[in-house]
Structures are given as C-alpha cells and as structure tokens.
Amino acid sequence: MNDDQWEYPAAEEDALRLNTVRSDLILWIVERFQTLLAEGREDDACYFMDEWFEWMDKETYINESTLFFDSDELKDLYESVKS
C-alpha cells in the first residue's frame, strides 16, 4: 500500500460483508468473461480480463488491497471541503 494512504482495518462484521462483496465480484468477473467468450467476442473478453487480471491472479489476489467507501460519507466530505 502507498505510504500516503492510511490503512483502517474493518470491524469483524464489516470484514465479513466486504469479503462477501469481493467474492460476488469475482464470480461476476468470471461469468462476464465466459459470456463474452460464448458470444464469440474474444477481443472484448481479453480487454475485459486485462482490466480485472489482478483480481483473478491467485498470487496477487490475497495481497491486493480492496478499498470501499460509503457514498454518503464521501458526498458529505466533498460538500464540506468545497465551501
């Protein structure tokens, strides 16, 4: 992780939810890739997987940081600094 970023471990219940979301995303990536191949869109499938490779590679997946944010919290922060 970049030294300019802060790391805040998630609470146990949030970690479980985040892991579930991340797992669902992985399943969607695989399904989308397979759909593109089934449609004969090999180039699109390759471009798609180029974007998502780090999520699928077993060597880097476990070490990849996953950053999630609360959109309402982000909007409030934006509103507070733009004034």
pLDDT, tens digit, 9 for 90 and up, residues 40-68: 999 999 999 998 887 777 776 666 666 66
Whether 37 shows a pLDDT value over 80: the answer reads yes
Domain count of the fold of the chain: 1
Q: Does any domain span residue 4?
A: no
Q: Does any domain span residue 3?
A: no
Q: Does any domain span residue 64?
A: yes
pLDDT band at 30 (very low <50, low <70, confident <90, very high): very high
- DSSP assignment of 3-27 equals TTS---PPPHHHHHHHHHHHHHHHH
C-alpha distances in Å from residue 22, one per residue of 18, 45, 61, 75, 80 = 6, 20, 11, 23, 30
Q: Which segments of 1-83 are extended strands (E)?
A: none
Q: Which domain holds residue 48?
A: 12-82
Distance CA 43, CA 52 (A): 14
- pLDDT at position 34: 96
- In the chain, pLDDT over 70 holds for what percent of residues? 73
